[in-house]
Amino acid sequence: MKKTDTHTCGECLTGAGQMINVTCNYGNLKNVQEFVKDNIWSANFPTTRQSSTTHGSYGAYSRYQLKQHHYAGGGSGYVEVLEILDAPGERHNIVINMRYEEKTSFFEWETLEKATLTFEKYCQGCFHYKEFEKQDGFKRKINCYLLIPWFYAVGDEVLVGDYAFPTGLQDDPVFRFGEKFIYTDCEHNMSIKTCLGARVIEDYEEDYRGHGKLKIYRLVFFNDGSVWNEYKDPENMPQVITENDVWIDEAMQKFRNFLTGNTKEFEINLTNGQKFIGRWNLDKTKVYSLPGSYFLKIILEKTNKPVEGWVNDFEPSEDAPDVIKFAENEFAKKGRKMIRAEVTTIKYQGQDSTKKWSGVFFGKK
């Protein structure tokens, strides 16, 4: 092309659905669009990156400063130990990133040393990634599937949770960013997920006779990294939550609030007029066997007045698996028989009293 030629600007989609802007000779835009779609899977531009890492024979770009400490590749994927030197906000900066069988996952680690030890032990020859979560220093696993991990964001891509918000996902009129859907997986388990958008795929397929047909279907991306493939699973199309289904999301919010310990009970009004009531209650057979201090009221044989007092720093044992049995054994040593016992107050594991529901996250750091 010459500078004096008449040019036109336009947009092209690569084979992966990536949007790129091009300038070409006037009247040639359609040919360029077809060429890009048929021959280019994705394109990365050096001007959008801060650093790049090698994955075998190709590179991956990022706007963050990445230091690849270790790398191993095989026929079905690769695994790498990364340190993100300028990780934004509270995002963790030590990860083992892995792409295996066309799916991406990354694992967060407390320190670079612990991530390196795991890499050296389980990533030589074969990727024994199922052992990662059992190792010292492991923090969290994030499944990305076809989404891009946040630390490989380029240009102006927005970070949404653990992912870089992909381009070209906001053209679908149904599967829009932020909408909540009822999602059914291959095992018919239902859950509510937030949509990140959808991408239309056009694929040409030939049968054994050489006859071809064009397949057009959607890939829908969700906030937990999962993807619904319209072509492979047309029967389980995610259903958008309508006004009649809002109670489902409200019920989940109430249950989450209950799990945090902010409330001891909750009610869910069902659409058929029935009501679900959930409340916290002690399983005394288990609670009384926990280490701690217990205040007891005890009735002994041949007495009417209860004996009251603390059993401090109780520890379960084979002879006394719970505090009731411990008290019974102690009175038996003195020749007294215990008729009935009531625990009125418990102090254990840093809590003042088990009369207060602390939620399932108590003690987690």
What SS3 state is found at 91?
coil
Sequence-ordered list of residues with C-beta below 8 angstroms from that of 249, at least 6 positions apart, any chain: 180, 192, 241
- Which one is predicted more confidently, 190 or 296? 296
Residues 65 and 131 in one domain: yes
354 located within any domain: no
**Which of the listed residues 98, 122, 157 is the one where a domain comes to its end?**
157
On the question of pLDDT at 352 being above 60, the answer is no
Residues 57 and 96 in one domain: yes
361 located within any domain: no
On the question of pLDDT at 144 being above 50, the answer is yes
Q: Copy the structure tokens of residue 357.
A: 């529901």
Confidence of residue 138 (pLDDT cuts 50, 70, 90): very high
Stretch 322-336: mean pLDDT, rounded? Answer: 90
CA dist 11 and 261 (Å) reads 52
CA dist 19 and 51 (Å) reads 21
Confidence of residue 109 (pLDDT cuts 50, 70, 90): very high
Helices (H), 40-167: 112-122
On the question of pLDDT at 73 being above 80, the answer is yes
Stretch 171-182: mean pLDDT, rounded? Answer: 79
- Which one is predicted more confidently, 71 or 242? 71
Confidence of residue 365 (pLDDT cuts 50, 70, 90): very low
Please report, for residues 62, 123, 145, 192, 200, the alpha-carbon distance to residue 223 in angstroms, rounded to integers and kept in the order given: 21, 28, 11, 10, 18
Sequence-ordered list of residues with C-beta below 8 angstroms from that of 241, at least 6 positions apart, any chain: 179, 180, 181, 182, 192, 248, 249
Residues 153 and 50 in one domain: yes
Residues 135 and 57 in one domain: yes
In this structure, the strands spanning 58-62 and 66-74 are unpaired
- Which one is predicted more confidently, 259 or 65? 65
Residue of 307, 325, 328 lying closest to 316 (CA atoms): 325
138 located within any domain: yes
Partnered with residue 342 across adjacent β-strands are: 297
309 located within any domain: yes
Residues 291 and 335 in one domain: yes
Q: What's the pLDDT tens digit per position in 37-57?
A: 888 887 766 445 567 787 776
Range of the domain at 227: 168-239
On the question of pLDDT at 353 being above 60, the answer is no
Residue of 147, 127, 146, 134 lying closest to 81 (CA atoms): 127
- What's residue 117's pLDDT? 94
Residues 246, 216 contacting (CB under 8 angstroms): no
In this structure, the strands spanning 148-149 and 265-269 are unpaired
Residue of 56, 119, 48 lying closest to 82 (CA atoms): 119
Residues 291 and 332 in one domain: yes
Confidence of residue 96 (pLDDT cuts 50, 70, 90): very high
Residues 268 and 224 in one domain: no
Which letter does DSSP use for residue 292 in this model?
Answer: E
pTM: 0.47
Residues 268 and 289 in one domain: no
78 located within any domain: yes
Partnered with residue 23 across adjacent β-strands are: 9
Residue appearing with tokens 């989940």:
252
Kindly report which listed range (54-58, 141-145, 175-179, 355-359) carries the lowest average pLDDT score.
Answer: 355-359
356 located within any domain: no
Confidence of residue 170 (pLDDT cuts 50, 70, 90): low
Sequence-ordered list of residues with C-beta below 8 angstroms from that of 161, at least 6 positions apart, any chain: 150, 223
Residues 57 and 141 in one domain: yes
Domain total of the chain: 5
On the question of pLDDT at 293 being above 80, the answer is yes
Stretch 56-85: mean pLDDT, rounded? Answer: 85
- Which one is predicted more confidently, 4 or 44? 44
353 located within any domain: no
29 located within any domain: yes
